[in-house]
Structure 1
Amino acid sequence: MAWGRSLGLLLVGALLVTLAAGCRRAPAPEPPAAGPADEAPAVPAPKPVYCPLDGLPVEDAVLVNRRPVAVMIDNLTGIGSQSGLDKACWVFEILAEGGITRLMPVYLHQDAPTVGPVRSARHYFLDKALEFGAAYSHCGWSPQAQRDIQRLKVISLNEFYLPQVYWRVRSKKEPHNVYTSTDRLFQELDRRGLLTNYSRSWELEFHDDPSALSGPSAKKITLKYPGGYTVEYVWDAGIVDGGYRRFVGGRPHKDAETGQQLVARNILVQFVDGTRVLDKEGRLDMKLTGQGSGRVFQLGVTYEANWSKGSRTDFTHWTEKNGQTVKLARGQTWVEVMPRGAEVSWE
């Protein structure tokens, strides 16, 4: 009887041990060591996009795939400051009748909500617009410009026929009161199917190491056009990356919308021949094709240069005296087109 009770106890004990062992969780197997094939593939960093006209970084690549637009801007003394020049990649300043200049900003990746005052076309400004493949915004035209716009098949954005693209302000007298915006100009090109349908021929290079640039110091530049119109640029190293503050008639040249003084990163002085009066209104002609001399101001220094342009549609190619292509500092470039012999000084 005692033997039977002992056997029963042994059987119960064995059963409990078995149940306890069954309730225990088996240890998880060690995960295999990660090999090269198991590593997540590296995601390449997005390639930076730079504007081909001013070399500045651009967040949206679509903006640099647009056709540029060039706008004829008033520069008559007494009309007040212009709007939108600060958003342009390039700005051209060229004499018009009466001993004054007109300005032609070229826009690509930066948009300006207000641009103006917009004035009438002059035929030699077309040479600069055409080399960018740009559409040309203007309000009317000279007889010579009208002829060349038709003959050269320039994309004309004439206010006379596009009231939806332009507006007039009451605070200024005609014809100094016409304004537009880059948004309206680009929309008009898109409507015509011309916004991206074009080929490029730009030949621009930018400094990878601006500190390597050398030349005589040029901290203050004075440009005297025939007739007494004077432009000055003063180097300011305190601006981000440095720049030349622009003055006209001894006063800071400011944007009408922001109130900020205009700043150039590069100043190209282009000396040209053939400047002459065409008609009794005093309209001018000048030769912007062929080749000639010039001077480059950038990053506080200056050096001589040459320019060449094979045809009215070719890009103006700038070279140093050693034949190497002029490299630009990244940022806005002003081109001062001046008759040969005009006074240019620096210190």
Structure 2
Amino acid sequence: MTQAGRVAAVGTSRGTRRRGRTGRATWTAAVLAAALTASLTAGCSSGGERDDGRSPSGTASGERTPPAAGGVLAVKIDNARKARPHTGLDAADIVYVEQVEGGLSRLLAVYATHLPETVGPVRSARESDLELLRQFHRPTLAFSGAQSKLLPLVDEAPLRAEPPGRTREAYFRGNDRPAPHNLYLRPDRLLPATPGPRALTTTGFRHGPAPAGGSPETSRTVRFPAASFTFTWSAHRDGWLVAMDGTDARTTDGQRLAPATVVVQHVHIRTSDFHDSNGNVTPYIETVGSGRAEVLRDGKSYDAHWKRDVATDGTRFTTGDGTPLNFADGQVWVVFVKA
């Protein structure tokens, strides 16, 4: 059975999770096999990023830091074409869509109310992630590595960094796709339990009834220089069906991704001090500040204003008259686009 088949068998989708964990024994055997594969398979990242299973400090001690009480799990997820379909993305409470080098995209998935058995593929962190995650209390960041010059900043950030070298049993490499697009995370090896919805209250997001007004919206496309995302309203799913680069976005078990709320947040994107091996500069996404946004929910689009005063604050979304703008219950996608 391929790695994709294994992760589908353990039930990473919401519907499969309700059927319980009858395949646990099979999963354990598959994990052991995958762990052996991981010890023999090395994946390399571009641009001087380290994807070698070492901790940010450069030590591979394997020591496990005790989890912070109530902290969310944030996972940096690969979004190259070879990395799809994703595993466990439908279980995230929030998915942030970020532009990276060459106009491509990566995802940062945040988990608080449910921990799927597998998440991935996992890739490297970016400087923008550190500012974005300051809104959470001592989050855990799972990532494959980072550029060597960025690692000291990761060490200094108020988060629990968990690359493969720090808690080795939390990661394995699959056999169904080439490295570096085949690194997967077992979340329960990092967090003993879900932190719960209270861990998300720092985001500033509000959930509740839809505001008055809004414009009917059936589809919205957001374009990066080398990537695109289309969100199409589905009354049947009560959510926005996601397409990436013109292809339906599905999980490894075949489920369409369909967040209840999509936020298109216009932000300042500047160049950072980092670049990849081809000389492409890494964009820095400024999530502290203010600007305009569009909030998609219930088949409508609402013009909004966003504001985040400091990094330790969440982001507040309001309508034109300053009324807080409620999101629909369910998964939220936030797509950062250049203002």
| TM-score higher than 0.5 | yes
CA contact (8 A) 2:113 2:196 kept: no
Per the alignment, residue 273 of structure 1 pairs with: 268
Correspondence for 1:153 among 154, 158, 161: 158
**Matched position secondary structure for 1:128:** helix
Per the alignment, residue 237 of structure 1 pairs with: 235
Per the alignment, residue 288 of structure 2 pairs with: 289
Paired with 1:285 and 1:278, the residues of 2 have a C-alpha distance of 9
Paired with 1:92 and 1:181, the residues of 2 have a C-alpha distance of 20
Q: RCO (CA 8 Å, sep 6+): is it higher in 1 or 2?
A: 2
Q: CA-to-partner distance for each residue in 1:132-173, whole Å, 9 max, x for gaps?
A: 332111111134542322222321111122211111112222
Alignment partner of 1:254 is 2:250: yes
- Name the Cα RMSD after superposition: 2.5
Alignment partner of 1:78 is 2:85: no
Per the alignment, residue 14 of structure 1 pairs with: none
Q: Which runs of 5+ in 2 are unaligned?
A: 1-68
TM-score (norm 2): 0.72
Residue 202 of structure 1 and its aligned partner are, at CA, apart by 4.1
Q: Kindly tell me: are residues 145 and 305 of structure 1, through their superposed partners in 2, closer, same or farther at Cα, counting changes over 3 Å?
A: farther
Per the alignment, residue 102 of structure 2 pairs with: 98
Per the alignment, residue 109 of structure 1 pairs with: 113
CA contact (8 A) 1:70 1:136 kept: yes
Residue 273 of structure 1 and its aligned partner are, at CA, apart by 1.2
Given residue 113 of structure 1, which amino acid in structure 2 is its aligned partner? Answer: E
Q: Kindly tell me: are residues 160 and 98 of structure 1, through their superposed partners in 2, closer, same or farther at Cα, counting changes over 3 Å?
A: farther
Paired with 1:307 and 1:144, the residues of 2 have a C-alpha distance of 31
**Matched position secondary structure for 2:152:** helix
Paired with 1:295 and 1:137, the residues of 2 have a C-alpha distance of 29
Per the alignment, residue 312 of structure 2 pairs with: 313
Paired with 1:203 and 1:223, the residues of 2 have a C-alpha distance of 23
Paired with 2:275 and 2:301, the residues of 1 have a C-alpha distance of 39
Per the alignment, residue 207 of structure 2 pairs with: 206
Paired with 2:171 and 2:113, the residues of 1 have a C-alpha distance of 20
CA contact (8 A) 1:139 1:160 kept: no
Given residue 220 of structure 1, which amino acid in structure 2 is its aligned partner? Answer: S
Q: Kindly tell me: are residues 236 and 284 of structure 1, through their superposed partners in 2, closer, same or farther at Cα, counting changes over 3 Å?
A: same
Greater CA deviation, 116-125 or 279-288? 279-288
Paired with 1:243 and 1:127, the residues of 2 have a C-alpha distance of 29
Per the alignment, residue 18 of structure 2 pairs with: none
Alignment partner of 1:171 is 2:176: yes
Paired with 1:199 and 1:295, the residues of 2 have a C-alpha distance of 21
Residue 226 of structure 1 and its aligned partner are, at CA, apart by 2.1
Alignment partner of 1:263 is 2:263: no
Q: CA-to-partner distance for each residue in 1:248-280, whole Å, 9 max, x for gaps?
A: 122210001x21000011011111114225344
Q: CA-to-partner distance for each residue in 1:96-153, whole Å, 9 max, x for gaps?
A: 1121110011101112111001111111022222213321111111345423222223
Q: CA-to-partner distance for each residue in 1:58-107, whole Å, 9 max, x for gaps?
A: xxxxxxx8421000000012332111010011100001112111001110
Match runs of 1:179-190 below 5 Å: 179-187=184-192
Greater CA deviation, 91-100 or 312-321? 312-321
Q: Kindly tell me: are residues 226 and 92 of structure 1, through their superposed partners in 2, closer, same or farther at Cα, counting changes over 3 Å?
A: same
Q: Kindly tell me: are residues 280 and 249 of structure 1, through their superposed partners in 2, closer, same or farther at Cα, counting changes over 3 Å?
A: closer
Q: Kindly tell me: are residues 280 and 247 of structure 1, through their superposed partners in 2, closer, same or farther at Cα, counting changes over 3 Å?
A: closer
Q: Kindly tell me: are residues 271 and 195 of structure 1, through their superposed partners in 2, closer, same or farther at Cα, counting changes over 3 Å?
A: closer
TM-score (norm 1): 0.71
**Matched position secondary structure for 2:83:** coil
Greater CA deviation, 313-322 or 258-267? 313-322
Greater CA deviation, 317-326 or 114-123? 317-326
Q: CA-to-partner distance for each residue in 1:179-204, whole Å, 9 max, x for gaps?
A: 112212213x99xxx999x8963433
**Matched position secondary structure for 1:324:** coil
Per the alignment, residue 334 of structure 1 pairs with: 333
Alignment partner of 1:120 is 2:119: no
Given residue 118 of structure 2, which amino acid in structure 1 is its aligned partner? Answer: T
Given residue 244 of structure 2, which amino acid in structure 1 is its aligned partner? Answer: V
CA contact (8 A) 1:122 1:144 kept: no
Paired with 2:153 and 2:315, the residues of 1 have a C-alpha distance of 19
Identity %: 26
Residue 292 of structure 1 and its aligned partner are, at CA, apart by 1.5
CA contact (8 A) 1:123 1:142 kept: no
